Amino acid sequence: MLQTLIEVILPVFLVIGSGYLLTRVGYMNQTHIDGVLRFTQGFAVPCLLFNAIAHIDLAASFDPRLLGSFYTAAALCFLVGLTGARFIFKREWEDAVAIGFCCLFSNSVLLGLPITERAYGPDALTGNYAIIAFHAPFCYAIGITAMEVIRNSGKPGPAFARSILTAMFKNALIVAILLGFLVNFSGIKLPVVAEDALGLIIRAALPGALFALGGVLVQYKPEGDLRTIAFVCSVSLLLHPALVWIFGSITSLKEDLFRSAVLNAAMAPGFNAYIFANIYGRAKRVAASSVLLATGTSLFTVWMWLLLLG
């Protein structure tokens, strides 16, 4: 039991912690961290996802039971977060959407990938990549649509759809995933030199992104709204994976895909939760503090889920 914590989870959090500590003591400043973050999230991680989708066995990985279990649970968690924020914590509707988005968007790339790989090996990531392929489009489509509907901007149908699509396709991860599908479906073979270059970039993606995540978290301090933040952490770290477990069991999801689905759902809210709140200027303190506290707490809750998965 303790070996799982030491060998699988702690190395990931030590990388995050080193970014946090070096930034906290001033060895790295926010300009440095912003540069690493821009490289990893804007280039290296998209390269990782492009390469994974370009080479993935689509028939084996895109199991409707996997996607149905994960995204049905995610949508329900968005509704729980939305209604809880509105009716339990009496937040305005726009705040409630941002809080619901925090409950919806798990950190499937920066935490889900390295933890699943360390727990079950690189061959166990097929389900992770299938989930990630739809993650940002699905979550942003729900969040942006809900926010725009509540804002009642009065835009005509085509303009409304255009604003949603524009916001989604500014995301480098989505563009990389679409290009990966294009290469996969078309059967295009990249030159060996390009594959080798991609391999070099990809090896830097997750360590660099984890380090930058630690540096970014220095900016955020858990203050105020603690009941709401605890609510978000509970939905993200406990309810989401529990629902995926139930749906995956009901549909007899294959073991490797079941593990990927539950572990992805068990991750803390991703940094995109704060980005979404920041875009709309709503519930930013809740979003930032939820990312910080849930990431720290997930050290123990992910350990619990790994023990349950066996």
pLDDT at 68: 96
| Token duo for residue 190 | 């990249």
Q: Is the separation of the CB atoms in 276 and 229 below 8 Å?
A: no
| Token duo for residue 262 | 């539950």
DSSP 69: H
CA dist 37 and 28 (Å) reads 13
pLDDT at 171: 72
pLDDT at 23: 94
- The model's pLDDT over 28-53, given as tens digits with 9 standing for 90+, comes to 998 999 899 889 888 998 898 899 88
Query: Phi/psi zone of residue 90: left (φ > 0), alpha (ψ -120 to 50 degrees), beta?
Result: left
**Is the per-residue pLDDT at 5 higher than 80?**
no
Mean of the pLDDT values across residues 60-77? Answer: 92
Mean pLDDT score across all residues of the chain: 87
CA dist 288 and 20 (Å) reads 15
Mean of the pLDDT values across residues 284-307? Answer: 89
pLDDT at 302: 93
Q: Is the separation of the CB atoms in 212 and 32 below 8 Å?
A: no
Q: Report residue 266: phi and psi, to 5°.
A: -80, -5
pLDDT classification of 25: cutoffs 50, 70, 90: very high
CA angle 209, 205, 212 (to 5 degrees): 15
What pTM was computed for the model?
0.82
CA dist 44 and 211 (Å) reads 13
- The model's pLDDT over 150-173, given as tens digits with 9 standing for 90+, comes to 876 555 556 666 766 666 666 777
CA dist 64 and 87 (Å) reads 33
CA dist 53 and 126 (Å) reads 10
pLDDT classification of 222: cutoffs 50, 70, 90: low
pLDDT at 58: 73
**Is the per-residue pLDDT at 1 higher than 60?**
no
| Residue 148 vs residue 269, higher pLDDT | 269
For residue 80, give Cα distances in angstroms to 39, 102, 178, 201.
34, 11, 30, 39
For residue 225, give Cα distances in angstroms to 71, 229, 294.
28, 6, 14
List the alpha helices (DSSP H) in the chain.
2-4, 10-24, 30-39, 45-55, 58-61, 64-83, 93-104, 113-120, 126-151, 157-169, 172-186, 192-217, 226-234, 240-250, 255-265, 271-280, 284-309
Least trusted range by pLDDT, from 16-20, 51-55, 77-81, 196-200: 51-55
CA dist 244 and 233 (Å) reads 16
CA dist 133 and 130 (Å) reads 5
pLDDT at 246: 98
pLDDT classification of 93: cutoffs 50, 70, 90: very high
CB atoms within 10 A of CB 32: 15
CA dist 122 and 175 (Å) reads 24
pLDDT at 187: 86
- The model's pLDDT over 251-265, given as tens digits with 9 standing for 90+, comes to 999 999 999 999 999
* Residue whose pair of structure tokens reads 């709140």 in the numeric block: 277
**Is the per-residue pLDDT at 219 higher than 60?**
yes
CB atoms within 10 A of CB 310: 6
